[in-house]
Structure 1
Amino acid sequence: MNVLVRQASSADLEAAARVLAAAFDDYPWTRWAIPEDGYLGRLERLQHLYLSHALENGVVLVDDEVRAVAAFLPPDVPAMSQERQKRVAELHGSRLSALAAVVLPEPPRRSWSLATLGVHPARQGAGLGSALITAGLALADRDAAPGGVALETSDERNVRLYRRSGFTVTAETPIADGPTVYSMSRPPGTA
């Protein structure tokens, strides 16, 4: 299948946030980190906030129909604005203290981050996610960041997907009463 991948614009944010909310509906991390009360609405608003930050400071990729979304952040990306951080905290609500207590390993120094990747459930398995990963990794490789690309996932199925793209698991962090987080990285220029 030939997938047309392009950089997202601000006009794509609403649709992209909806796609990510649908893709992450049953995701172990979001189910643990976001209160059940209004879960889907909170998830979509969180995705919109994170995508807005990524669009301003990194690269957001979508397929032409906006059924798949990936956000890549470069090394030394600035922190989210205080206003966005406040809104993120409000959306995490009662789960914020548990979320703040999580300590994950640091990614490789000067690495890009594959911050999110999601495909609408109706289109999963069609190669859209792989196409976005490939395009994003090519951008990161052109940047020649010495740390390569790092990511975190809490779904073992994703570990297999990312391994096919050259990532290896660098740490497994079990979260108390929550999922295991797999930290993964891919050295620069790995074909």
Structure 2
Amino acid sequence: MTPSVLEATGADIPQAARVLASAFEEYPWTRWTIPAEEYSERLEALQAIYLRHALDHGIVLIERDGHGVAAFLAPGAPVPSEADQARIAVLMGDRLAALVATGLPEHPAGAWELATIGVDPARWGQGVASSLLSDGLRRLDAVGATTVLETSDPRNVTLYSRHGFAVEVTTNIPSGPVVHTMRRPAQHT
């Protein structure tokens, strides 16, 4: 059975942030950008901030039973509020400078960003990520949107390629992960 997808509300954010924290527990990017001390707590708090931001400036989708979440940011979305930026700086600690210095490529004008997608590890391989991704991309295709993303897990490149993304740039971050920037033009149906 294909997992059902719903638009998230503010009430869904705490559970969605927990799912993302669990999904990203060993993810190369978050392991590199978030201090090891209280890593899991910092990760969950950061995910909640970013999900609320995406809820205000994009689309956040959840799997009906709360086992997965995807967040898409609209083109031109502002940076998080000053209060959120201050909280992010505290949570990132001494890793913030490294994050800022990564030199990842700019996204094309007018592109939506798949900011995050994650599934409860107990549900990996059951189609939850594909359902979330398909639903979000269908919505973006309806408005003719190109979608971009970054991933530092080679397994994700395979998933995203199945959904029409192609690697455009691979960035080797000194003392950090390899990051693949991928783009998917709008699909016309």
TM-score (norm: length of structure 1): 0.97
Which secondary structure state, in structure 1, belongs to the residue aligned with residue 92 of structure 2? Answer: helix
Question: What amino acid maps onto 2:80 in structure 1?
Answer: M
Partner residue, 2:180: 182
1:111-149 C-alpha deviation (Å, 9 max, x unpaired)? 01000000000001000000000000011111223xx00
C-alpha separation in 1, matches of 2:130 and 2:151? 15
Stretches of structure 1 that go unaligned for 5 or more consecutive residues are none
1:82-129 C-alpha deviation (Å, 9 max, x unpaired)? 111111111000111111111111122210100000000000100000
C-alpha separation in 2, matches of 1:66 and 1:56? 20
1:166–1:190: 8 Å Cα contact kept in structure 2? Answer: no
Which secondary structure state, in structure 2, belongs to the residue aligned with residue 12 of structure 1? Answer: helix
Which secondary structure state, in structure 2, belongs to the residue aligned with residue 108 of structure 1? Answer: coil
Identity across aligned pairs (percent)?
Answer: 51
TM-score (norm: length of structure 2): 0.98
| 2:84 paired with 1:84 | yes
Partner residue, 2:147: 149
| 2:129 paired with 1:134 | no
C-alpha separation in 2, matches of 1:190 and 1:169? 20
Partner residue, 1:7: 7
2:171–2:178: 8 Å Cα contact kept in structure 1? Answer: yes
1:24–1:118: 8 Å Cα contact kept in structure 2? Answer: yes
Question: What amino acid maps onto 1:39 in structure 2?
Answer: Y
Query: 1:19-34 counterparts in 2 under 5 A?
Result: 19-34=19-34
Partner residue, 2:170: 172
2:149–2:181: 8 Å Cα contact kept in structure 1? Answer: yes
C-alpha separation in 2, matches of 1:73 and 1:141? 14
C-alpha separation in 2, matches of 1:190 and 1:76? 23
| 2:96 paired with 1:114 | no
Partner residue, 1:39: 39
1:54–1:71: 8 Å Cα contact kept in structure 2? Answer: yes
2:144–2:188: 8 Å Cα contact kept in structure 1? Answer: no
C-alpha separation in 1, matches of 2:74 and 2:11? 22
* Equivalent residue pairs, number: 189
Which secondary structure state, in structure 2, belongs to the residue aligned with residue 79 of structure 1? Answer: coil
1:60–1:72: 8 Å Cα contact kept in structure 2? Answer: yes
